């Protein structure tokens, strides 16, 4: 079999790559404008844990994958030969319905930025909400929200503030 692993670039690495490529091609390009407008950088299939710090409280979701085993004790695979897993979830160490988490996380992944922060924007407020995503190989990404103005929050991805979203527009919603 072949073992493949996807390594995502950090926002800083991506900005360097885009800027260098644009220079080679003789183009004037804004790296922030080329970065993903979706703040969630970890696909659900690669997520190991998600920690949310908000209002002085911390909530941690941990996903555990267990290989499926057939009655004959062979590992089960899909039609393409990929191992199948059963996934369970805990919230602060207590069992939590994975299907509910999966639906909420999928919605969170679809959250997109409302716009790029103006170049002269100064975000003095500290983050009021921090999401820390850890993938299965231990890589972490953070998404921090800080007040931008009355109706929007600034979004910092791995420490780089580039976007804004409507207040309340980025949250793990279980409704």
pLDDT tens, position by position, 83-111: 899 999 999 999 999 999 999 999 988 88
Banded model confidence at residue 5, pLDDT cuts 50, 70, 90: very low
Banded model confidence at residue 26, pLDDT cuts 50, 70, 90: confident
Instruction: Say how many C-beta atoms besides its own lie within 10 A of residue 25's C-beta.
Output: 8
> What is the model's pLDDT at position 30?
57
* Cα(27)–Cα(151) distance, integer angstroms: 35
Mean per-residue pLDDT over the chain, rounded: 84
Average pLDDT over residues 22-42: 65
pTM of this structure? 0.76
Instruction: Say how many C-beta atoms besides its own lie within 10 A of residue 156's C-beta.
Output: 21
Q: How far is CA 60 from CA 53, 90, 95, 130, 133, in A?
A: 9, 8, 12, 12, 10
Q: 35 pLDDT exceeds 60?
A: no
> What is the model's pLDDT at position 32?
52
């Amino acid at each position: 079999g072949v073992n493949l692993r996807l390594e995502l670039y950090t926002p800083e690495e991506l900005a360097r790559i885009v800027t260098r490529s644009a220079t080679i091609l003789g183009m004037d390009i804004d790296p922030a404008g080329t970065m993903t407008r979706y703040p969630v950088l970890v696909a659900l299939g690669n997520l190991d844990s998600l920690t949310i710090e908000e209002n002085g409280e911390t909530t941690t979701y941990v996903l555990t994958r267990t290989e499926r085993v057939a009655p004959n004790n062979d590992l089960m695979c899909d039609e393409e030969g990929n191992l199948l897993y059963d996934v369970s979830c805990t919230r602060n160490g207590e069992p939590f319905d994975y299907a509910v988490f999966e639906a909420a996380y999928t919605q969170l992944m679809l959250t997109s930025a409302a716009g790029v922060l103006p170049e002269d924007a100064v975000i003095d407020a500290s983050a009021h909400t921090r999401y820390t995503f850890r993938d299965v190989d231990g890589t972490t990404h953070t998404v921090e929200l800080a007040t931008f103005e009355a109706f929007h929050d600034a979004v910092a991805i791995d420490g780089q503030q580039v976007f804004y979203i409507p207040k309340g527009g980025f949250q793990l919603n279980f409704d």
